[in-house]
């Protein structure tokens, strides 16, 4: 990939340069690496060991973008998360303020609504 300087701001950020380390785990997301295909443009303030924060702008690998279920704490595969919108429509909220959960982590009542909503 060619990097154009000019209207894009010039960056000395190593995360915008080969090997495009993931901004979270520092694994390469370069073309040809396992993580290239599912990398996602992202930025973050990464907390360093000395307590300072470092701004990182670049890519995140799919592993690091995986989301955790708010009820069981295990990661949810992309596209398999269920949010209150999937259950209650636009204005819904789960009673426990969870935001993303597994299908299996829905209560039976929520699951019923979700199944109706999916149809
Ligand atoms: Zn990563
Ligand atoms: Zn879960």
Residues 59, 73 within the same domain: no
Tokens encoding 60: 């995140």
CA of 118 from ligand 2 middle (Å) equals 19
Distance of CA 83 to the CA centre of its chain: 14
Q: Identify the residue whose tokens are 């060619």.
A: 2
Which ligand sits closest to the CA of 68?
2
Residues 57, 92 within the same domain: no
The parent domain of residue 27 ranges over 2-64
CA of 62 from ligand 2 middle (Å) equals 19
CA of 29 from ligand 1 middle (Å) equals 8
Task: Write the pLDDT tens digit of every residue in 57-93.
Answer: 999 998 888 889 999 999 888 778 999 999 998 888 9
Residues 35, 81 within the same domain: no
Give pTM, 2 decimals: 0.56
| CA-to-CA separations, 65 to 27, 68, 99, in angstroms, rounded | 13, 9, 15
Number of domains in the chain: 2
> Of the candidates 45, 64, 83, which is a domain's last residue?
64
> Of the candidates 49, 64, 79, which is a domain's last residue?
64
Where does the pLDDT of residue 118 fall: very low under 50, low under 70, confident under 90, or very high at 90 and above? confident
Q: Is-contact 65 40, C-beta < 8 A?
A: yes
Q: What is the pLDDT of residue 12?
A: 60
CA of 66 from ligand 1 middle (Å) equals 10
Residues 60, 7 within the same domain: yes
Residues 97, 60 within the same domain: no
Q: What is the pLDDT of residue 6?
A: 47
CA of 88 from ligand 1 middle (Å) equals 32
């Amino acid at each position: 990939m060619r990097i154009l300087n000019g209207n894009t701001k010039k960056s000395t950020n190593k995360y915008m340069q080969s090997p495009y380390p993931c901004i979270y785990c520092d694994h390469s997301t370069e073309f040809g690496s396992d993580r290239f295909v599912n990398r996602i443009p992202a930025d973050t303030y990464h907390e360093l060991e000395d307590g300072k924060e470092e701004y990182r702008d670049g890519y995140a690998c799919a592993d690091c973008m995986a989301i955790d279920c708010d009820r069981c704490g295990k990661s949810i595969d992309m596209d398999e998360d269920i949010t209150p919108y999937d259950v209650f429509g636009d204005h819904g909220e789960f009673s426990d303020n969870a935001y993303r959960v597994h299908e299996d982590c829905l209560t039976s009542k929520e699951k019923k609504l979700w199944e109706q909503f999916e149809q």
